[in-house]
Structure 1
């Protein structure tokens, strides 16, 4: 893969491969058909995950412990040829193991085969199977006779040797091949097929999946979508396929990854007319501001490719063209430097449109992202499924309030981050701005609820921060550099990755260090370090390796002798020397422990030491011996933890050695190292990033009225008047009041509860799964000697089921980082009395680690103190 997969993507790929292997085995052994789906939110990287699956399917993958299927045939199906082309391009963009020539678009003039070819991906769409399609003409004999009428066979339209249906049937019936049918946007094309509608006329896609007219059903069906209910219902109701467990991507992990924008800002004017020029002007100003922000960011990062943000004008189904023209006129008057030919439409009419004095060409939705000349896009309903445009950052919707579903759907098309990563410290560049002039605030609440709660099936995006008419916060002008330096020194933690391999982390780190010129020949040095570790393992586990080597080079078995006359049986053991095919199989198993690149270079390293330099043939023999030694080494159970510990130690040493140099790199390069830090089975420390700008709500709605939120002084971020608006609960109010009165207090920071480089996260274990808790407050004070110190104080809800696991995570964090904070305290009100657990004390941490009590009981126990 050209991309490093996110943790959740790697987990999903592993689960999909398990399903595919199971389905393939059942098909060839029992003739059983199987189906399942991969469901993930828009922007999760479904095509990238699919690329990783296809690489493993065609070529095998040691990381996923998956053997290649030499007879794999992939049929990728959607109902839109343009969407297929977009997918084909993205597969080429993501994969370095799939040759572009293996991605075949099936067309009449380039396809006529008895069977599909193995290790190829064929792109099909609904139109290829329509009655008028030349690819299927002649398959249905009755239909052909009806159309031909009295024409003699030799005068009938040109017939193909194999119709598309013939090719599908022949491929499915070929025992050496396995057809994997991948249905993109799997909720489409299934019709309203439910358990109560099994006799309904089948759609084309259901005919392909379930079989029809003598063509068998698909052996393996993999549906991909953000919403798979209709797909699941159709599979269940057909009774043609066994339903395997669906692969579901956790939307919270997608949000945490930075692939989705963090904030959606909704502006709801008190009153507005049709195509109000004031509102269009406001949206244009936001577009210009966003453009300037991206230009400044690119200049700061010395980046040549600048994000060109886009504004979507969403118009009613029957708009007045002159009013739309007036809106465009307002755009260009507000921003005179904007070219007037930067407008396009994605309307259903698929034609050039005339709006007032402006002629607006049509463009296919999936092409919008790549055509950066488009800065204003005119749309009606939610743009077609499968389309997304990360650079779409501003939307003005002139649709009626009743269209709130369309609003949420279109926003779902706009949530991907333009650079596929979070912009550190600048929330504005991680946001989407939406102006809703025809929505009152009450109706807008339904939009907010839909965006914050996500879909009913837990696969739709949910956003912790959906802001209505917010105010911008910037760094408090009185905060000293010393306070910010202390803030930036505080260690945050990443969520560990379950399947992380230390050697892969080390070699990835070596690659990045070499790319940035921080460590010359880093790859060679990483491999050399691991060779020394493997040498040490050979010495340390020598006796075990000798025994294992024998099992590698010898195949043991038993011969059964049956005497039919005496009715007696006997068993004789046999021992045969293994051939290189068997030895290579053991070697590849070992490569799953050591990583194939390291295993290969270590084999060459051993062979060169053992070979006779005057005998060229001896090198090949030495290489076979070396691979046998490595195969035996991989069978010794104690070797892997020994090897992994050393690889992890080397990676940590390099990360620490080059920590300062890495921090001087541009954001995109720092992001690469951040991802490498996260490639660990243990929580890893990452630095906090100083926030540069942040939007906050300044009022809340209470029934039919609005109420301004309380404002506070001395927050690290504030508005132009030095105030920070916040909705604090009673506990948070009490803690803030107490801490603000302590000697030396200077500033406070309300730690954001959503992921981001400016949010301090702490890892904790809950039911054997790592999660992240984000403590509420960080307070900054100056001691008598002038040193700036930080206090972490967390009002800790005791009523939640994970209250004790969170306490354990906080306690472990305090033990691991004793110098980061002056105080690390968890506070709670229990039975009307304020109590505190001082997590800097070893005896308190021990009590939390071993307790069988509830969180409330811990605060009431003798290990807690009164909070004064």
Structure 2
């Protein structure tokens, strides 16, 4: 792959690959199979399946490559097929352009070719289609081609059914598409084609895919992606900001002007961000404007001349190429002195010249544009469901990750001049509880209730202090061994020109460790590496890379004849177990000796649990050293490069700390009491927040302390929010302390972590232990780390976890009552 998958995506592809292995065994026994990827809109289904196809074709994750693999990608839309093909071409390193074939007349082949992905859509499969009829030089119908391919190698033909979002497609069109798709699933005797035995379905609504295979007597195997994993991944924007008129009066053009200015703001901020982060390409945001339908006399009831005039009055004159339309009309149009070119919905995101796109109802199937940051609609309240669906396709992040240090670039703006209160409520309700095809729930904020706050520049020393504090990201991600993380870390150092020799150094360290382990094991006569190549050896029936999720158990061993062929196979498995081509590094380091014996030695070494444990220990220690040594150099990198290193921390078996980056500005709800000395302030220099009783009491105490120069209210789940891990029910959970205060002590800034937290809350004991564990590691970074209780009389009790005696007692706490005793005794 040319891109790095999110951990949940890689995990999904890995699970699907395992299901494919099981399914192929059943196919050999004449039992048809269906593997289903149930994945929310916006989660990157195409990316996941592309990785799966690469692994099937080239091998990976404990599986040999399938040199006979043929892939048939079926959807109900030519535009969707073209979009999928373009995505695979951009993302995959395994399938060059000539291996991505759109099946169109006059296609006629006896069989489909291995190593190729063929794209076919149901609209090309009607009885009148040239593909379904022989003659005029075409010897084979598409049905015969598929049947010939499947009959020859049934377990090597993979049918991918793309059950993608269809927007407002008519029921009649859906039924037609479904009946054609079912020919592949149930067979089509009229065309001479039997059922394709191995089907991979990808859908945001698995129920509809299940209807497709209903009655087909197929074994169904399913991988379901958790929506929370998608939200945590950074693939989706955090918030939709809704603009609408406050009174029932005409506001079309003033709100269009507002939308254009908002787009200009996005444009400027993206330009600044991309330059500062040294990104190869600048993100060019798109303003999409939904106009009203037309009639026989006019293209649209919305005055398109005024649309152009008002937009350019707000943002300046744009080149003709910046204007485009996605109307049903297939020709360019004239409006406002501009030539507005035709563009297909699926091409908008890839067309870097497009800045302003006009459309009516046409952005449905194929509409997928992370660059669309602002949407303005001239349509009326009755279209709330359609608008919610469209916005659901806009909330993808352009960089496929959150933008640190700039909250605006993690939002989408929606401008609705013709929506009354009831219509707005329906929009918000639909966005908060979307159907699976529209995407996941996203926070919706009313722009009229928001105020912009910015960092108080006079408190720069406090900002630097906060950004140096250790914080953790607690995510549901598959974990990776220290061996692989170390090699990737070294590769990143080389890529970023921090240390060009580090990758070779790290590989050398691992090879030397293996050689030392070999020398130690050779003293044991029973060691498999001492066996000659024609003897029987014990091997693991199931190999799992050490440190990988679900790993760690002892392997079940079976006995096989040590022939040259199965030694090569087991050696390849060593490579997949170690990862990063390390088995070949070991082999090359011992080049010149007996090649079979070298392979046998490595196979035997990795069968010993002690070997992997020792490697993990050595690699984990070296990784920690390198992280500390190069921390400052990594901080100076652009955001995309820094994020690679942060991901390596998040996939460690135990959470590792990261540094924080505050956003220079953010939009918050206008509510509550104004407070002094906050790090973020409005134009008047104050910060308004609706604090609860305990929080208010703590802030009052903070502000009474003359050494306090600033404080920060931590907003949970923000990228810049300090986060502490705690254990509950054998899982890591995030704790966000409410307040960080900054004091000036002997000329230096000292940070205090203050968390007002009731003992009556279910997880109070676990959070207290989490604070204690955090303090044991990081007490030197804080003046105080306090758990604060305010009793009914307003009396404040504090447990300072920087006190080792407090930590020792809290570590042994068994219940809430026990915790309350400690607070009463030591608070």
Say whether the fold is shared (TM-score over 0.5): yes
Q: Aligned residue for 1:3?
A: 3
Q: 1:292 to 1:767 in 2, by over 3 A?
A: same
Which range is displaced more, 67-76 or 837-846? 837-846
State the 1:454 CA deviation.
4.5
Which range is displaced more, 417-426 or 629-638? 417-426
- Pairing partner for 1:215 from 193, 196, 202: 193
SS of 1:590's partner is helix
Which range is displaced more, 213-222 or 315-324? 315-324
Q: 1:355 to 1:824 in 2, by over 3 A?
A: same
Within 5 Å, which residues of 2 pair with 1:301-312? 301-303=277-279, 305-312=281-288
State the 1:864 CA deviation.
5.3
Q: Confirm whether residue 72 of structure 1 aligns to residue 65 of structure 2.
A: no
- How far, CA to CA, are the matches of 1:666 and 1:303 in structure 2? 8
Q: Aligned residue for 2:57?
A: 58
- How far, CA to CA, are the matches of 2:767 and 2:146 in structure 1? 54
State the 1:188 CA deviation.
5.2
State the 1:76 CA deviation.
0.8
- How far, CA to CA, are the matches of 1:695 and 1:190 in structure 2? 34
Query: Deviations along 1:285-343, whole A, 9 cap, x unmatched?
Result: 11112212222223323445222111111123348445232122101122223235522
Long gaps (5+) in structure 2: 539-558
SS of 1:389's partner is coil
- How far, CA to CA, are the matches of 2:178 and 2:494 in structure 1? 57
Q: Aligned residue for 1:144?
A: none
Query: Deviations along 1:110-160, whole A, 9 cap, x unmatched?
Result: x3223322332111111221122111115xxxxxxxxxxxxxxxxxx5263
Query: Deviations along 1:374-402, whole A, 9 cap, x unmatched?
Result: 11111223722342212111111222223
- Pairing partner for 1:241 from 199, 212, 218: 218
- Pairing partner for 1:368 from 329, 335, 348: 348
CA contact (8 A) 1:710 1:726 kept: yes
- How far, CA to CA, are the matches of 1:40 and 1:34 in structure 2? 19
Q: Aligned residue for 1:135?
A: 131
Q: Aligned residue for 1:488?
A: 467
CA contact (8 A) 1:266 1:433 kept: yes
Q: 1:3 to 1:503 in 2, by over 3 A?
A: farther
- How far, CA to CA, are the matches of 1:410 and 1:3 in structure 2? 26
Q: Confirm whether residue 811 of structure 1 aligns to residue 736 of structure 2.
A: no
- How far, CA to CA, are the matches of 2:256 and 2:155 in structure 1? 58
Q: Aligned residue for 1:789?
A: 750
CA contact (8 A) 2:813 2:819 kept: no
Q: 1:851 to 1:80 in 2, by over 3 A?
A: same
CA contact (8 A) 1:137 1:159 kept: no
Q: Confirm whether residue 594 of structure 1 aligns to residue 578 of structure 2.
A: yes
State the 1:534 CA deviation.
1.3
State the 1:274 CA deviation.
5.5
Which range is displaced more, 359-368 or 708-717? 708-717
- How far, CA to CA, are the matches of 1:437 and 1:484 in structure 2? 39
SS of 1:433's partner is strand
- Pairing partner for 2:696 from 728, 733, 743: 733
Q: Confirm whether residue 548 of structure 1 aligns to residue 528 of structure 2.
A: yes
CA contact (8 A) 1:58 1:72 kept: yes
State the 1:858 CA deviation.
4.6
Query: Deviations along 1:137-184, whole A, 9 cap, x unmatched?
Result: 15xxxxxxxxxxxxxxxxxx5263221111222233334643222122
- How far, CA to CA, are the matches of 1:713 and 1:851 in structure 2? 37
SS of 1:135's partner is helix
Q: Aligned residue for 2:549?
A: none
CA contact (8 A) 2:325 2:340 kept: yes
CA contact (8 A) 1:172 1:179 kept: yes
Q: Aligned residue for 1:164?
A: 142
Q: Aligned residue for 2:740?
A: 778
Q: 1:769 to 1:73 in 2, by over 3 A?
A: farther
Within 5 Å, which residues of 2 pair with 1:54-453? 54-61=53-60, 64-109=61-106, 111-138=107-134, 157-158=135-136, 160-175=138-153, 177-186=155-164, 203-213=179-189, 215-235=193-213, 237-244=214-221, 246-271=222-247, 276-303=252-279, 305-318=281-294, 320-321=300-301, 323-355=303-335, 357-381=337-361, 383-441=363-421, 443-451=423-431, 453=432
State the 1:584 CA deviation.
1.6
Q: Aligned residue for 2:551?
A: none
- How far, CA to CA, are the matches of 2:463 and 2:175 in structure 1? 68
Q: Aligned residue for 1:516?
A: 496
- How far, CA to CA, are the matches of 2:155 and 2:167 in structure 1? 26
Q: Aligned residue for 2:544?
A: none
CA contact (8 A) 1:185 1:385 kept: no
State the 1:493 CA deviation.
1.0
Within 5 Å, which residues of 2 pair with 1:617-656? 619=592, 621-656=593-628
- How far, CA to CA, are the matches of 2:536 and 2:439 in structure 1? 54
- How far, CA to CA, are the matches of 1:45 and 1:527 in structure 2? 33
Q: 1:108 to 1:340 in 2, by over 3 A?
A: closer
CA contact (8 A) 1:425 1:691 kept: yes
Instruction: Quote the RMSD (CA, aligned, Å).
Output: 3.1
Query: Deviations along 1:734-754, whole A, 9 cap, x unmatched?
Result: 333333334522222121223
Which range is displaced more, 833-842 or 665-674? 833-842
Q: 1:91 to 1:804 in 2, by over 3 A?
A: farther
SS of 2:773's partner is helix
CA contact (8 A) 1:779 1:790 kept: yes
- How far, CA to CA, are the matches of 1:543 and 1:259 in structure 2? 52
SS of 2:493's partner is helix
Q: Aligned residue for 1:23?
A: 23
Q: Aligned residue for 1:722?
A: 685
SS of 1:327's partner is helix
State the 1:544 CA deviation.
5.1
CA contact (8 A) 1:537 1:639 kept: yes
CA contact (8 A) 1:180 1:221 kept: yes
- How far, CA to CA, are the matches of 2:168 and 2:527 in structure 1? 58
State the 1:199 CA deviation.
12
Give the length in aligned residue pairs. Answer: 797
CA contact (8 A) 1:369 1:391 kept: yes
Q: 1:85 to 1:589 in 2, by over 3 A?
A: same
State the 1:581 CA deviation.
1.2
SS of 1:789's partner is strand
- How far, CA to CA, are the matches of 2:489 and 2:177 in structure 1? 56
CA contact (8 A) 1:79 1:189 kept: no
State the 1:719 CA deviation.
1.2
SS of 1:387's partner is coil
CA contact (8 A) 2:406 2:666 kept: yes
Q: Aligned residue for 1:14?
A: 14
- How far, CA to CA, are the matches of 1:58 and 1:682 in structure 2? 33
- How far, CA to CA, are the matches of 2:177 and 2:635 in structure 1? 61
- How far, CA to CA, are the matches of 2:100 and 2:669 in structure 1? 49
Q: Aligned residue for 2:39?
A: 40
CA contact (8 A) 1:193 1:230 kept: no
SS of 2:358's partner is strand
Q: Aligned residue for 2:631?
A: 659
Provide the TM-score with structure 2 as the length reference. Answer: 0.89
Provide the TM-score with structure 1 as the length reference. Answer: 0.85
Q: 1:729 to 1:211 in 2, by over 3 A?
A: farther
